[in-house]
Amino acid sequence: MYENQQDDGSLAFLKIAPDPNNKHFNCDETTQQKLVNTSFWVFDFMEVSTKFGEGRYLVKIKPERDAPENQAQKFFTNSREIKWVLDRIRERNAFPRKVTLRATGTRYYFE
């Protein structure tokens, strides 16, 4: 199946891609507040409904572009500016993208 690799019987060995129509981020959750003034790589996002309302984005990030999946984190945002930028990145099919999260009062945005 894979040249020069011994099948160890694990699911990871098969390298099955996730179903793009059933997306979820199986990683630790953080908050925007904890990420302010830090740089990280944005890998993906999805629109979700939460107890706080509809139209929130759940954003998957990693500290480095080549960081393993076990270092991935996710955070929720309802920032219009962040959502606008994420939508433009998706339109360009330009993930992953390195950003710095900034805040002014309750306004969160990417640089």
Residue pLDDT, tens place only, 4-63: 778 888 888 888 877 777 778 889 999 999 999 999 999 999 999 989 989 999 999 999
| Confidence (pLDDT) at 76 | 96
* Cβ contacts of 108 within 8 Å, gap of 6 or more: 32, 36, 77, 79, 81, 82, 101, 102
**Helices assigned H by DSSP within the chain:** 11-14, 32-35, 80-91
Q: Where is average pLDDT lowest: 4-13, 65-74, 84-93?
A: 4-13
Rounded to a whole number of angstroms, the distance between the first and last alpha carbons of the chain is 44
- Contact by Cβ (8 Å): 12, 69: no
Give the three-state DSSP class for 44. strand
Residue 75 has pLDDT above 80, yes or no: yes
Question: Could you tell me the two tokens for 53?
Answer: 């309302």
> Residue 2 pLDDT > 70, yes or no?
no
pTM confidence score = 0.81
Averaged pLDDT for residues 57-72: 96
Assign 3-class secondary structure to 5-20. Answer: CCCCCCHHHHCCCCCC
pLDDT in the model for residue 85: 98
